[in-house]
Every structure is written in C-alpha cells, then in structure tokens.
Structure 1
Amino acid sequence: MRRTLVVTNDFPPRAGGIQSFVYGLIARRPPGSVVVYAPRWPDSEDFDLRQPYPVVRHPTSLMLPTPAVARRAAALVAEFGCETVVFGAAAPLGLLAPRMREAGVRRVVMVTHGHEAGWTALPVGRRVLARIGAHADVVTYLGEYTRRRLVRVIPGDKLVRLAPGVDTEVFAPGAGRERVRAALGLGERPVVLCLSRLVPRKGQDTLLRAWPGVLRDVPDAMLLIVGGGPYRRTLERLARPMNGSVQITGPVPEAALPGYLAAGDVFAMPCRTRLGGIDVEGLGIVYLEASASGLPVVAGSSGGAPDAVLRGQTGLVVDGTRPDEVTAALVDLLKDRAGARAMGERGREWVAREWSWDLAASRFARVLESVETP
C-alpha cells in the first residue's frame, strides 16, 4: 500500500478549525494509508490509540522547520515507505520539502488556510511562500479569495481547491436546541449566536457595539457569544451595560457545539481584516456549520468569509468595522422570521450539496491519486 506522511502542527486533540479540517481529510483515507507526524498535546496518547493509522508525536507542542524536525520526518518517510508528503499547513513547515525529496518522497502537497493568504501581504511572507511553492507539486486553496492571494507567488497550475466539509448529520436543525436553551435560561427569546474564538478579527466587539441598536427594535433579543480566547475580558467589559441581554459562555466541549448552534435563531460573526491584511479570515467553516444547522448567517467581509455565504440567499455580508451595518442586518433577520427561516433552509440545502465531507474527501483523494501515480 502506498502511504502518505502528513506533517502538521494542526491536529487533534488540540481544538481548532484547521485541526478539524486536517483530521477530517485524514479520517476518510483508507486505514493504514496515512502516517501522521504532529506535536504532542495534552491527552494525545489516548487520542492516538483510537486512530486507525500511526501518529508520531514531536516532543513539544510546536514544530518548526528545524533540522531536528526534518530528520524525524525523513526517518518516518524511510520507516513507512511514504511516497507522498502532505503538509497540513504550508507555512512554515512546507520549508522542509527539499529534505523530504532527499529522503525519497516523489510528490509534495501543501494545504493552505487563511494565514498563508495573510502572508502574501508582506514582502518576507511572499518570499517564503514562493520558496514553499517552488518545492510543491500541489498547493491547495480554500476559495476564490485565497486563490487570488496565493497566485501572486505560486504558479496557478499548482493550485487546486480543497475546502473543509460539514457533517450535516451532526450539524442539523434542532440538534440539542431545547437542552441548551433550557440550560442557559433563554426561553423563547430570539437569539443571535456567535460561536468562535474570542480574538479581535472575529468581530464580537462589533456585535456588542451594534447590540443596543438591535434592542431598540427587538427588545427581547438575546446575544449569545460562545468561545474562549484572549479577547474575553474586553468583551465582558463591553457587555456589562447591556442589562443581561448578552451571555458570554466561555469555551464549550466540541461535542456540545452542534447544540449551541442549533440554539440560535441567527448566526453572526462580523469578522474584519486587521494589521494591513495580515490578519484575515480564510473562509470561516463555522458559517457553513451554522447554515447546516438551519440558521441564516451574517458574515463579515474579511478575506474569504463571503465564500461561505450565498448573499441574500443563505445570509448577509456586512462590513465588520461598521456596527450600524451589523445592526441593520440583525434587525432585518430577527423581524422577518419567515424570511430568516427560508435563508436557513436554503443554507442547509447548499451545504449538503456543495460542502459535504464526502465531496471534500473525494477532492483530497483525487489530489493524492494524481500525485501518487508514477
């Protein structure tokens, strides 16, 4: 059996969107066809025992393109007879590609996310990505926005679209809705939900600045912010004057996420691009998970986030720096419940048709087959 070595900093049990993306691709490969080299993380030993393929852990929680990491990866290529290497995130570990070829790898696949698109905003980032791309056979991109950014430094004939999938059986309307709403005391109030890491790019602060305007038109509305991160104290400070109409839950277990999404009536994450284009949204899989849960979405216009929305059909796209735009979008959806419900239904149909894991896995298989054929 031809084996693929996956070298990645982003892998469970560490939580995150990139981790879920990489794991979702690997989980759908034939058992024994993949070997993973990833950093050590709390509870990784138990997690690794449950996988139908070898997972080799680096001694620390971060891997950089150092000689030690290169030697270990090259040793795995030899030990398992790997003909292909996939870098779970092209930057920066893709710099190891020349050493992988020396070890006997015939083809190299680089998977990119939002941060590689951000790197194209800096001269040094462009140079690094050009170097990475020069040693790749295939470089994947999430959507049209990331393709436009990457093609500045990577030949277009190397670029192949590969986006994450959504499990529409896990993320579904009503999946745990009543349980979560009861636990949080939401009752029958209309709920705007934001589920994401709490960092400035995601725009939870813009939601809070927009919220007083929402309450003027929909006085019983509730804003539910789910997630953890360094911006939490700032958000809690902004929420204090809101008279109990905002709940910030902190992080919740991954298994509980479908229930929290289903508990909302509108999903909103008005992300914005920061730091001159370096800090940018690559796609925003959570918009698609919300659509699969039957919610209309309000997305920010940062980077590739609009690629996860059919404007006016599955949701709305706003300027994440403009609280007034966010207010208007939320009020429209909360007051037009029938229209919002129709958007959610169209969103679920679209995700099931265009963003399934079966489709993502099939694309990944074609990428590997095209590079694994002698």
Structure 2
Amino acid sequence: MGQVLPLGTAVWILSFIKKTRYAVFVHGMDVSLPIRHSRKRWLLKNILGRAEKVLAANNFVAQMVRNLGLPAEQVVVIYPSPVIKKLSNNTLTENLRQRYNLQNKPILLTIGRLVERKGHEIILMALESVWREAPQLRYFIIGTGPFKNKLEDLRALLSHPHQVIFLGEINDEETAAWLSLATIFIMTPRALANGDAEGFGLVYLEAAFFGKPVIASRTGGVSEAVIDGQTGIIVEENNVEATAMAILKLLKNPSLAEELGRDGQERVEKQFSAESAAQRIKDVFGY
C-alpha cells in the first residue's frame, strides 16, 4: 500500500474482516502532515501499527514513524530509485542547446513542483550575486504549481529576467535532455510551519545519475540523498548568500564540480538501483 490516508483506512478495516496482511510504503508528507492532527495521528498510528512492515523512503521518515510508538524492527528503510533514465537522444539535446542559445553558457537547473516548500525564490534571489561574476548563467525551471505567479513576479524584478526560463511540465525525454545539458542541478527546499518538509528528494539522485553536481539545503531527509562535500554541496535552508556562494564555487572550480558529479553518479549506480531496492524488499519479506 502506498497511501496511508485515505486508502490505508480501508485496508486497515479490511484486515480485521478478511484477516488481510499488508505493508505500507511511506515517503514523507503522508506522515508529516497527519501527525499534526490528533484524529489523523491516531488513525495513522493504528494503520501503521497493524502493518506487517512499514517501508520508509529514508531514515528521516522512518524516525517519524518510530516516534509514533512502532517498534524499530517493524520499520525498514527502502531507498527509492531514480525514475528518469538516460534516454539517448543527442538530437533533442542539441536542438535545445541551439533553441535557447546555450553554447558555452553555464546552466543551472531545478526540477520540482512550484510550491513554497521547494524554495525556488531562494535561488532567484541568489542569482543577482552570481550574475556579477557569471553574467552568462542561465537558470531553467521544470515544473508547475500554485507558486508560479509569485515566482514570475520575483523574476521580473531581477536584472536579467530573460535569463530565467520556466519550462513548465515536460516529458521524461526532454527532462533527460535538460539533465544532460545542465552544469549544476539545484533545489533548496525548506521546512514549513505546518510540518511539510522534503522527505528525501529523489530528483537529486536523478541529477546525480546524469553525473551532475548538486546543490541542496539541509532540511528533512535531503542529507541522505546528497552527501555534503562528496556528491554535492548542502547549504542551510533559506540562506540566499550561502546558495550564491555554492553556485559560484562550482562554476569557478569545474574540476570539483566534475568530481562531485562523478562520485554522485557512482553512488546512485551502486546504492540506488531498482534491482537493489527490489532485492531489499524480497529480503524483508523472506522471498
């Protein structure tokens, strides 16, 4: 089962009637949001408590579940695997390079829903400092969401608004092409007052899969997806200055950027393959 609420309620009730055994996958928001409300917290605890196993996307989420009172051995961490694959389409990649006039220009890329938690505006505000030393930098944003109008308004206030491009929702093939083109992948999420936080950040692994250095923020379970100083740079959340410094550090040190990207790629291929996740699940259930 991959949805604790509301689907989990039906499965939980059915388990008493049909003696059904079940396991639950939890990812982050499906735990962090309901635990703030007494009724939903009670229901969440009972659904997860009756499960044969709770499979958490990372240790951050696993600890939230254990804090509900579940025994440690009932909660198992199964890291997700990158969804975007290296789709071989050099023609598309080159077409995008030509269409946006990107020859010899550094490219900053973010992939994610345009929502407050993702922290896009931190990057936008950091760009002014970056442009003073790297005026050719282009910033591309993939994704849609309710925060788009606010982000577009912020873009309009920048000195080089035409160098920030919202690509909207695009298919996997084009996303793969942009990951191939990117110089740096960046996403700087932050925890919100309502408990919403980045549970893991699968997109960091997808960028690493393409050999890209990543910049992330220290929140939620991000530090499990990005190893600071080894596969990327982690800055404190909501820190515009640190974000700008991290971007410039990678732009000024291409050998460092290449090393971080290479180490990230090796880590993803060894530790986050779909095969290894499937085997881990088999081991958990004794298959």
What TM-score results when the alignment is normalised by the length of structure 1?
Answer: 0.71
Alignment CA distance shift 1:176-1:333 (3 Å): farther
**Partner SS for 1:279:** coil
Tell me, what secondary structure is at the counterpart of 1:213? helix
Q: 1:242: how far off?
A: 3.5
2: CA distance, partners of 1:325 / 1:95: 43
- 1:204 and 2:120 aligned: yes
Partner of 1:178: 94
* TM-superposed deviation, 1:110: 0.5
Alpha-carbon distance in structure 1 between the residues aligned to 2:104 and 2:37: 52
Partner of 2:238: 321
1:64-97 C-alpha deviation (Å, 9 max, x unpaired)? xxxxxxxxxxxxxxxxxxxxxxx11223322223
Q: Quote the residue 1:223 is aligned against.
A: 139
Counterpart of 1:265, as a letter, is T
Contact 2:89–2:177 (CA under 8 A) maintained in structure 1: no
TM-aligned CA deviation for residue 120 of structure 1: 6.4
Tell me how far apart the structure 2 counterparts of residues 105 and 257 of structure 1 sit (CA, whole Å). Answer: 44
| Cα distance in structure 2, aligned partners of 1:190 and 1:172 | 22
SS at match of 1:317: strand
| CA gap 1:171/1:297 in 2 versus in 1, 3 angstroms | farther
- Can you give the 5+ residue segments of structure 1 that lack an aligned partner in the other structure? 1-86
Deviations 1:140-188 (A, max 9, x none): 1111211121110122221011121126852789795433322322222
Q: In structure 2, list runs of 5 or more residues that go unmatched.
A: none
SS at match of 2:199: coil
Q: Secondary structure at the match of 1:229?
A: coil
Q: Does 1:361 align with 2:264?
A: no
1:281 and 1:174, CA in 2 relative to 1: closer, same or farther beyond 3 A? farther
- 1:298 maps to 215
What residue number does 1:143 align with? Answer: 58
- The answer to whether the 8 Å contact 1:192/1:267 transfers is yes
What letter is aligned with 2:262?
E
Q: Per-residue deviation at 1:118?
A: 1.3
CA contact (8 A) 2:35 2:44 kept: no
Alignment of 1:64-83 (within 5 A): none
Rounded Cα–Cα distance in structure 2 between residues aligned with 1:168 and 1:175 = 18
Identify if the C-alpha distance between structure 1 residues 120 and 301 changes in structure 2 by more than 3 Å, giving closer, same or farther. Answer: farther
TM (norm. structure 2) is 0.91
Which of 12, 20, 25 is the equivalent residue of 1:98? Answer: 12
Q: For 1:80-121, what per-residue CA distance to the aligned partner results, in whole angstroms no more than 9, with x for missing partners?
A: xxxxxxx11223322223333245354210110111341365
* Superposed counterparts of 1:206-285, under 5 Å: 206-240=122-156, 241-243=158-160, 244-276=162-194, 278-285=195-202
Contact kept? 2:218, 2:237, Cα under 8 Å: yes
C-alpha distance in 2, partners of 1:130/1:173? 47
SS in 2 for 1:91: coil
Change (3 A) 1:242 1:357: farther
Are residues 346 and 102 of structure 1, via their aligned partners in 2, closer, same or farther at CA, if it must alter by over 3 Å? same
Contact 2:84 2:172 in 1 (8 A): no
Which has the higher relative contact order, 1 or 2, with Cα contacts under 8 A spaced 6 or more apart? 2
Does the residue aligned with 2:22 lie in a helix, a strand or coil? Answer: strand
CA contact (8 A) 1:202 1:269 kept: yes
Question: Shift of the alpha carbon at 1:343?
Answer: 0.6
**Cα deviation digits, residues 27-46 of structure 1 (max 9, x gap):** xxxxxxxxxxxxxxxxxxxx
- Name 1:113's counterpart in structure 2: 27
The 1:331–1:319 alpha-carbon spacing in structure 2 relative to 1, beyond 3 Å, is same
Residues 167 and 97 from structure 1, CA distance in 2 versus in 1: closer, same or farther, beyond 3 angstroms?
closer
Superposed CA deviations along residues 298-331 of structure 1, whole A, max 9, x for unmatched, are 1122201111011101101112311111111111
Instruction: State the Cα distance separating 1:205 from its structure 2 match.
Output: 0.8
Are 2:6 and 1:89 aligned? no
Letter in 1 for 2:44: L
Q: Distance in 2 between matches of 1:126 and 1:104?
A: 24
Q: Does 1:286 align with 2:203?
A: yes
User: What is the aligned counterpart of 2:252 among 330, 335, 339?
Assistant: 335
C-alpha distance in 2, partners of 1:229/1:169? Answer: 24
Task: Report deviation, 1:336.
Answer: 0.7
Aligned partners of 1:171 and 1:363: how far apart in 2?
Answer: 26
How far apart are 1:127 and its partner, in Å?
2.1
Correspondent of 2:224 among 303, 307, 317: 307
Distance change in 2, residues 1:314/1:342 (3 Å): same
> What CA distance in whole angstroms lies between the structure 1 residues aligned with 2:224 and 2:52?
25
